Chains A and B, each alone.
Chain A
Amino acid sequence: MSKKNHMSRRDMMAGMGALVASPRLISSQDITFKNYKIDLNDPVQNALAYTKLIGTTARSMVHIYYKGTIFGMTPEEGVKPMIGHTGVLKGVWKPWVDNSFYYTLYDVGYFMDLKTGLPSEEFTNPFTGEINRPVKIIGGPFDRVIKPEIRPFKVRGDELWLDEPAYLNFVNKLDPKIWKKASTAEKLSFLYVETYHGKISDLANPDLASAPMTITSTHNTSWYPFFLMGKRPGRHYWQSVGKKIDNLENDVPVELIEFIEKESPGYFESEKPWIKRKGTFQAYKDERVPIED
Chain B
Amino acid sequence: MDRRDLITAQFSIDSLDLSDPVQSSHAYAKLVGSAGNAMVHYSIEGTIFALLTDGVKPFIRFQALLKGIWSRKEQGTHQYRLYETGFFHNLDSNEPIRVFDNPITNESNVLTDIKGGPYDRLIGPRNFDWVISGDDIWIQEPISLSGYFGPEESENQIEQTAFSDSIFRGKLSELADESTMAPSMMTYNYVSPWYPFFGINDDETKIYWQAVGNKIQSWNDLPQSMQEYLVSRQKDYFSSSNPWTKKTSTLSHYREFQKRNSK
**CB closest chain-B residue, reference A187:** B54
Closest Cβ–Cβ distance, residue B222 to chain A (whole Å):
9
Of the candidates A189, A214, A218, the one whose C-beta lies within 8 Å of that of B136 is A214
Would you list which residues of chain A between 90 and 130 have a CB under 8 Å from chain B? none
B56 part of interface (Cβ distance < 8 Å): yes
* Central interface residue in B133, B204, B216, by most chain A CB within 10 Å: B133
A50-85 CB mask vs B (1 if < 8 Å, else 0) is: 000000000000000101110101010011110000
B163 touches A241 (CB 8 A): no
Total chain B interface residues with beta-carbon distance under 8 A: 40
Report the Cα distance A39→B16, complex, angstroms: 40
B131 touches A241 (CB 8 A): yes
Closest Cβ–Cβ distance, residue B114 to chain A (whole Å):
18
- Residues A250 and B134 in contact in the complex (CB < 8 Å), given A156-B216, A156-B221: yes
Would you list which residues of chain B between 72 and 93 have a CB under 8 Å from chain A? none
Report the Cα distance A233→B203, complex, angstroms: 11
- Residues A161 and B185 in contact in the complex (CB < 8 Å), given A67-B131, A156-B214: yes
A237 part of interface (Cβ distance < 8 Å): yes
Chain B binding surface, main DSSP class = strand
Would you list which residues of chain B between 180 and 237 have a CB under 8 Å from chain A? 185, 187, 189, 191, 203-204, 208, 210, 212, 214, 216, 221
B161 part of interface (Cβ distance < 8 Å): yes
Report the Cα distance A159→B204, complex, angstroms: 38
A189 touches B212 (CB 8 A): no
Task: Find chain B residues with CB under 8 A from A237 CB.
Answer: 163, 165, 189, 191
A172 part of interface (Cβ distance < 8 Å): no
B262 part of interface (Cβ distance < 8 Å): no
**CB closest chain-B residue, reference A76:** B161
**CB closest chain-B residue, reference A250:** B134
A132 part of interface (Cβ distance < 8 Å): no
Of the candidates B45, B51, B54, the one whose C-beta lies within 8 Å of that of A154 is B45
> Which 3 residue pairs of A and B lie closest in terms of their CB atoms, listed nearest first?
A79-B144, A78-B161, A191-B56
Residues of A within 8 A of B (CB): 65, 67-69, 71, 73, 75, 78-81, 154, 156-157, 159, 161, 163, 165, 167, 169, 187, 189-191, 193, 195, 197, 214, 216, 218, 220, 233, 235, 237, 239, 241-243, 246-247, 250-252
Residues of B within 8 A of A (CB): 43, 45-47, 49, 51-58, 131, 133-134, 136, 138, 140, 142, 144, 146, 160-161, 163, 165, 167, 169, 185, 187, 189, 191, 203-204, 208, 210, 212, 214, 216, 221
Please name 9 further chain A to chain B contacts, defined as beta carbons within 8 Å, in addition to the given A73-B163, A75-B203, A80-B144, sorted by A numbering.
A75-B160, A78-B146, A154-B212, A161-B212, A163-B212, A191-B49, A193-B49, A218-B189, A233-B204
